[in-house]
Chains A and B, each alone.
Chain A
């Protein structure tokens, strides 16, 4: 299977740098993961602050099946997440 473009529901924070955001998700086993991504991968990016807002992050879905998906994120890492937080085109 070739990786698909998808959007991952997440929380977004303002980053230390204006060109990026901090995103936060819970992995499949419930652990928190926070990474950084250039702004154009995230929505929405207006009015980000130290408090989280609900948003989404463009990811590459490299594996899915059952109730989970493995996604590669803009920070270069790959994590396993619940499939429920992934929005795939034509899903």
Chain B
């Protein structure tokens, strides 16, 4: 069952649903999420990644997504977008003073201002990240995949945004570009032994851009 506005409010007030800072308004069945400071916008430094890959004898833009260490990759290759005046024509995302411009085809990561989720102990809800239809009509996709905030997790959400439209999209801090809906789960996860395969089970050495 999805929570409607009154139940969303009650869940926040009781601490069973975490939304910090608490929302100024709540929709009929959703809560808007807003972009954090422009300084939180990030893009992949594909020039550096390409250079490192070429040094290793790999295709310049190769990334073995299931075998990379994301933490290490993010430390090395996630960077703020270049300022517009310093950018090149091939830069799809640029910073312009207090905003970011995402050109057609551009891809950007940007965390939400809100910390969202559920408490670790006895979580009763699961949340889904979604875009907003009016923004989507411009071509803005705000969450490519994995929209689920699983029970027991909370944090700032990192939005994976891409511009699929023909326009240059301008994004600012506090722009409401996403929303969450909340559903009640049957029971809190038990996390019993044996239900979780190790992430390194059967994994061979990392290949591709190892960073």
* CA of A44 to CA of B197, assembled, Å: 29
* CA of A3 to CA of B115, assembled, Å: 25
The contact of B153 among A14, A31, A74, by CB within 8 Å, is A74
> Closest CB-CB distance, A37 to chain B, in whole Å?
8
B side interface size, CB within 8 A: 35
Assess whether B191 is interfacial by the CB under 8 Å rule. Answer: yes
* CA of A10 to CA of B210, assembled, Å: 20
Contacts of B203 in A (CB 8 A): 31
Contacts of B193 in A (CB 8 A): 1, 62-63
Q: B154 near A22 (CB under 8 angstroms)?
A: no
Within 8 A of B (CB), among A27-65: 27, 29, 31-41, 50, 60, 62-63
Q: B40 near A1 (CB under 8 angstroms)?
A: no
Contacts of B174 in A (CB 8 A): none
Majority-rule SS of A interface residues: strand
Q: A17 near B158 (CB under 8 angstroms)?
A: yes
* CA of A60 to CA of B190, assembled, Å: 11
> Closest CB-CB distance, A85 to chain B, in whole Å?
15
The contact of A35 among B37, B70, B153, B191, by CB within 8 Å, is B70
Contacts of B70 in A (CB 8 A): 34-36, 75
Within 8 A of A (CB), among B75-91: 75, 78-79
Q: B78 near A16 (CB under 8 angstroms)?
A: yes
The contact of B75 among A18, A40, A50, A75, by CB within 8 Å, is A50
Q: B191 near A22 (CB under 8 angstroms)?
A: no
Q: B200 near A38 (CB under 8 angstroms)?
A: no
Q: A20 near B156 (CB under 8 angstroms)?
A: yes
* CA of A43 to CA of B53, assembled, Å: 34
Within 8 A of A (CB), among B111-163: 111, 115, 120, 150, 153-156, 158
Q: A78 near B75 (CB under 8 angstroms)?
A: no
* Residue in B closest to A35 when the chains form the complex, CB atoms: B71
Q: B150 near A76 (CB under 8 angstroms)?
A: yes
Q: B197 near A78 (CB under 8 angstroms)?
A: yes
Write 21 A-B pairs (CB below 8 A) sorted by A numbering. A2-B190, A2-B191, A16-B79, A17-B109, A17-B111, A22-B71, A22-B74, A29-B200, A31-B205, A36-B70, A36-B74, A38-B155, A40-B154, A60-B191, A62-B192, A63-B196, A72-B196, A78-B199, A79-B200, A80-B198, A80-B200
